[in-house]
Amino acid sequence: MNMTWRLLVQRAPARGAWNMAVDEAIARGVADGTSPPTLRFYAWAPPCVSLGRNQPLAALDVDRCRALGYEIVRRPTGGRAILHTDEFTYSVVAPPDLPVMQGLVLDSYLRLSRGLVAGLARLGIRAEPAPGSARTGPNASAACFEVPSAYELMANGKKLLGSAQNRRARVVLQHGSLPLYGDLTRLVECLALADEAERAKLRLALNGHAATVEQLLGRRVSFEQVAAAMQDGFAEALGLRLEPAELTPVELTLAEQLLRQQYEDPAWTARV
């Protein structure tokens, strides 16, 4: 029997702090039993650099980010910096005892990757998870898309979709970024690097190791096309019945509180 989950497709791009506050509000609702397991699709505007939960703010050149018009937010999940623009973002929020989410972080990563792979296949992209042995080394840069971690998605030998997870006693939150088009090396301008030679070296590495949907397909696809493909891919690969819905009034109220008290708070952004 299929599991019934809520589907939230939020087509209007939103600020990074709001997007993170909504993910956190849903996670708290799932943890206390007032929100259902949820698959959410969303986008970002203006462009925003998100830091991993434990990544130091010093990894970024804050003045450069501001000059470029990029906002900065800290994610509730781990990982390294991502520039969110021209992308499709998904989040999965569900109790850890559901079959899809059981086990350790990498167990659920691998299961969820099947839904992502099936969705990408509907767009015409043949993707596969990076090996379970893939790990980010201590000398990796602050940029998320430089190298894949275990079970993140690769296509044509390049990283395509990166994900991060936060696992708690009563809820698992995983979200990930699929770049649709544009220059992936724009993130390099946001990082605190030693000199321009290091910046140029990282640009070259990102160009060689990561790809966008447009680069793989030779054409652009819309947010709506990706959302439809991912909805079908998750439903088929993970045995989900997805019911379109909206955020509840309780979730909206909590998200507004989290926006003010956490995700817009400079102390949270600079917490490490």
Q: What is the pLDDT of residue 148?
A: 61
Domain ranges of the chain: 3-269
Q: In this predicted structure, what is the pLDDT of residue 28? A: 98
Residue environment code for 155-164, b if the CB has 16+ CB neighbours within 10 A, otherwise e: beebbbbbbb
Q: Is 207 helix (H, G, I), strand (E, B) or coil?
A: helix
Question: What is the tens place of the pLDDT at every residue in 78-109?
Answer: 989 999 999 999 999 999 999 999 988 889 99
The CA distance from 139 to 175, in Å, is 24
What's the rounded Cα separation, in Å, for the pair 63 and 67? Answer: 6
Three-state SS at 195 = coil
What is the spatial distance between Cα 9 and Cα 7, in angstroms, rounded to a whole number?
A: 6
Element (H, E) at 234: helix 223-238
Residue 16's closest CA among 36, 57, 45?
45
Q: Which CATH number fits domain 3-269: 3.30.1950.10, 3.30.479.30, 2.40.37.10, 3.30.930.10?
A: 3.30.930.10
CA 217-160-87 angle, 5° bins: 80
Count CB atoms within 10 A of the CB of residue 257. 12
For residues 171 and 173, what is the distance between their CA atoms, to the nearest angstrom?
7
In the chain, DSSP assigns E strands to 3-9, 38-42, 48-51, 71-74, 82-84, 87-94, 128-129, 153-155, 158-167, 172-179, 240-244
Residue 243: alpha-carbon gap to chain centroid: 22
Q: Rounded to whole angstroms, what are the CA distances from 223 to 36, 98, 174, 179?
A: 24, 28, 20, 11
The number of residues in the chain equals 272
Question: What tens-digit pLDDT sequence spans the chain (272 residues)?
Answer: 469 999 999 999 999 999 999 999 999 999 999 999 999 999 999 999 999 999 999 999 999 999 999 999 999 999 899 999 999 999 999 999 999 999 888 899 999 999 999 999 999 999 999 887 654 544 444 454 445 667 789 999 999 999 999 999 999 999 999 999 999 999 999 999 988 898 899 989 888 889 999 999 999 999 999 999 999 999 999 999 999 999 999 999 999 999 999 999 999 999 86
Residues with catalytic annotation? Answer: 144
Pairing outcome for strands 82-84 and 48-51: antiparallel
pLDDT for the residue 181: 97
